[in-house]
Structure 1
Amino acid sequence: MQLGSTGIWSIELRMADPSEIADTAAELDDLGWGALWFPGLGGGDILADSERLLRATRRLAVAIGVASIWRHPAGEIAVGHARLQETYGRRHVLGLGVSDPAAAHAAGHPYRPRADMGRYLDDLDRAPAPVPPAERLMAALGPRMTELAGQRTAGVHPFMVTPDYTAAARKQLGDGPVIAPYQAVVLERDPAKARAAARDFLGVFLGMDHYARSLLRQGFTERDLAAGGSDRLIDGVVAWGDVDDIGARLRAHHQAGADHVCLHVVGAGPGMPLPQWRELAALTA
């Protein structure tokens, strides 16, 4: 799995006008980014969205961050992934998530995260065109899911975590498994404006039980999770400031054991944050 050290995570790279997505992806490839990540959102034709990015680029990896196991049957994902790998030079990375109890119940199943993910990985292994463990990652947060990811996938793609979390994951996983954290960033030097932009995006996630539990395990408190997140929490999971400030957070993750960090620009207004991506491309060197 070749992700490079730094990538971009973007909703716009899935949801914007297709021609704009293709043109932007080609430029990002030329700028030196290692991987382009996009979210699973509510399902949809996620493999077609991967292919749009793969077709527009020559070198970088395209990663789903992440596909819900409740919305994408393993057999269909395996067939589509195999075709993309054969067609585009094995640049596709399949990120998988077990989502939350509501998603499982909507699919008519009880929610047993570790067992559910284990069965899905079994199905990928047994598919006519199996997805190799080296080509899949898990959105693991807790220690049991992290353990499973280290045993049966290339590694982990955790959301809303600090460099201290990265260090703990590296200690648990040891050498070898990939750690590729998501990192929200705000290119804004004014603390009040930067934190407001971060809260606008992250506030909804603080009310989701699995993310709240992850943050509590990371040492934050219930008070930190209230009212859109305390300054301490926002500063811990969001990097804000100028490019040098963002670079310092990026280095902190890498020094803690991350192999790759994908940056999600928030607070930039509607549309593609292409000016910010161009500015941040200095961090790919």
Structure 2
Amino acid sequence: MTPAISLWAGHDTVTVDALTERVQAAADLGIPGVWVPQTAALDTLTALAVVADRVPDIAVGSAVVPIQGRHPIALALQALTLADVAGADRVTLGIGVTHKPVSEGWFGIPYADVVGLAAETLEVLEALLAPERTAAVEGEHLTARITLGMPVAPPGMVVAALGPKMLDLAGRHSDGTVTWMTGPVALERDVVPRLASAAETAGRRAPRVIVGLPVCVTDDVAGARERLAPMMAGPVHMDSYRRMVEAEGIADPVDLVVLGDEDTVAARIEGLADAGATELLANVVGEPGERLRTLDLLARLTRSS
């Protein structure tokens, strides 16, 4: 079984026109969705509102917008406005608690009780994206007392969750999770069961499990590994990603790359579905020719699924 396939728009799209071109290219290939990170360049949700209007019939999502620095009322208004522009069933709001260097370095917000902040934020967002659009939350981290006047089809919502506490929150309050640096072993053993259990307890439907990984179709596996090693080594300096690599039981983070010829990559993608992934968020990497081969394979897998 092949999971749904979407594409990572990348950190290098620093203008709305560049992002539009990237999303249009994905739509032209028949890829059903794209995900855009929040960086120090574009405001992701604002840019996606423009792109969704310019490029119809492709799903768009944020992977992810940090909750630090954004009150959930403002975040809900942004997400609902984007959903209004895009139309029903096209938008997923992906949020997360980012990392300590970003939280404390960029925003000056302590990381000590980030799970508590996430819990209150999700409580507000879940309420404001529900049909009543009403939140009444007075917590330790924030207050939200409001009813929104936006009768539009709401976006979906997923949470970047890797550890057990965040997975519990994601399962209880959202449609699922979006991961990074997380392979099939950790997915099947740790992520999916915890998330599914929390969703079931909360009476929610089976959760989305969106798995972000680099993908590269190549005949030069050794050369590709050498080229990609620095990219994969960088995130391991973050505690959450280091734990995921350790949980996977691999010595080198480059082992997480979905890498090889067409048959090998297709088999590994199927393996992610077997581990519980409902969607592969493919970060297409490699040399130009390798990227073209990778996109061609992903498009063919999409057409055949």
Classify the TM-score, shorter chain. Answer: 0.7 to 0.9
Following superposition, the deviation at residue 83 of structure 1 comes to 1.1
Paired with 1:108 and 1:215, the residues of 2 have a C-alpha distance of 28
State the match for 2:201 in structure 1: none
Name 1:152's counterpart in structure 2: 173
Q: CA deviation at 1:96?
A: 0.8
User: Structure 1 CA distance, aligned partners of 2:262 and 2:286?
Assistant: 15
Question: 1:29-59: per-residue Cα shift (whole Å, max 9, x none)?
Answer: 2422121011112374221221233123222
Aligned to 1:88: 86
The alpha carbon displacement at 1:137 in A equals 0.6
- Confirm or deny that 1:98 pairs with 2:109: no
Deviates more, 1:173-182 or 1:26-35: 26-35
Whether the 8 Å CA contact 1:43–1:72 is kept in 2: the answer is no
C-alpha distance in 2 between matches for 1:109 and 1:12: 24
- 3-state DSSP of counterpart to 1:11: coil
2:62 matches 1:64: yes
Change in CA separation of 1:41 and 1:274 when aligned onto 2, cut-off 3 Å: farther
RMSD of aligned residue pairs (Cα, Å): 2.7
Alignment match, 2:108: 108
- In the TM superposition, what whole-angstrom CA distance separates every residue of 1:196-240 from its partner, at most 9, and x where no partner exists? 2321321211112221122223334xxx2xxxxx2xx422x1111
**Paired residue for 1:277?**
295
Shift in alpha-carbon separation, 1:6–1:208, aligned structure 2, 3 A: same
**Within 2, Cα distance between the matches of 1:19 and 1:278?**
24
Number of residues paired by the alignment?
268
Q: 1:256 aligns with which of 261, 272, 275?
A: 275
**2:266 corresponds to which letter in structure 1?**
G
Q: For 2:295, give the aligned amino acid.
A: W
Write the distance in 2 (CA, Å) between the matches of 1:172 and 1:266: 30
Contact 1:62 1:93 in 2 (8 A): yes
The corresponding residue for 2:213 is 183
Number of the residue aligned with 1:227: none
Amino acid at match of 2:171: G
Q: 1:274 offset after TM fit, Å?
A: 6.1
| 1:245 aligned residue (246, 258, 264) | 264
Q: Which is greater in Rg? A: 2
Taking structure 2 as the reference length, what is the TM-score of the superposition?
Answer: 0.78
Q: What is the deviation of 1:278? A: 3.8
Unaligned stretches of 5+ in structure 1? 225-229
Tell whether the 8 Å contact from 2:80 to 2:154 is kept in structure 1 after alignment. no
Which of residues 254, 259, 282 is equivalent to 1:234?
254
- TM-score normalised per structure 1: 0.83
Instruction: Quote the sequence identity (%).
Output: 26
1:180 is paired with a residue whose SS is strand
- CA separation in 2, counterparts of 1:11 and 1:71? 22
1:134, CA displacement in angstroms?
A: 6.9
Q: Is the 8 A contact 2:181 2:212 kept in 1?
A: yes
Runs (5+) with no aligned partner, structure 2:
128-134, 136-145, 197-204
The CA distance in 1 between the partners of 2:269 and 2:39, in whole Å, is 25
Q: Which has the higher strand share?
A: 2
Deviations along 1:59-87, whole A, 9 cap, x unmatched?
22101111111143322221111111122
Q: Does structure 1 retain, via aligned residues, the 8 Å contact 2:8–2:34?
A: yes
Cα distance in 2 between the residues matched to 1:50 and 1:93: 11
Instruction: Answer yes or no: is the 8 Å Cα contact 2:11–2:37 preserved in 1.
Output: no
